[in-house]
Structure 1
């Protein structure tokens, strides 16, 4: 008879590349990194909302990297990790949604006062807004499916 304590709670090692929702780690890296790069390549004006966007993108990029390596090394085999996984991704959704709204608002303001030399910056800001909302969607899907996995255990 198999013991109930030997059951794996979350995938580890190479299984995270084939398990759902952990397959979202790689797109979260790429899209979050793009948000970081695109916002950093524009003018930081006004400082406060775009500073929040930079904080969120860097914070989520670093924590997702840490989370990915915890999963890859297999240190996530306790019962608490399923709730931590769902909680972190819901926090990331709230952060990214607030950053996306602020970034879209600032981009809208920059578009209203557009001059010919500012067109390149404006296009970078639009790309950052799109990537930010895409990152929000990826973290949202990861959070929902992590919550479903948490509910099963």
Structure 2
């Protein structure tokens, strides 16, 4: 009888996992259909350096619109080389990933080579210099370390 109860618990666990998985697939499907019906209703917030908050929209009318020096769809800064970055970098990953990885020229080139060798990134040709210059100029390396120092903290001593 003990083995039978153990078997029933295992079956119940498997059933629960399957039920939750089916529900998640259903929910993702519904969200996908809703997005396809009205992509402009999906607006994302992206935290961008040197700005309060950037709204990134998928509205087709604003696909490449620039407002207050920010490319609305990606949140990237408007500067020379922006569209080269948008066209080559955001095909594979989000602009937020590009913005948060602040590197010098040498590290960007190493990263591009790594993506070409391991991630099937195509040869960027003349665009490589344009992209690297845009990134180094607009998202330079910050020598802040892992995080800024804590300030205005009231420290206390733990009792032993």
TM-score, normalised relative to structure 1? 0.29
TM-score, normalised relative to structure 2? 0.28
Q: Using CA pairs under 8 Å that are at least 6 residues apart, name the structure with larger relative contact order, 1 or 2.
A: 1
Q: Which has the higher strand share?
A: 2
Q: Which has the higher helix share?
A: 1
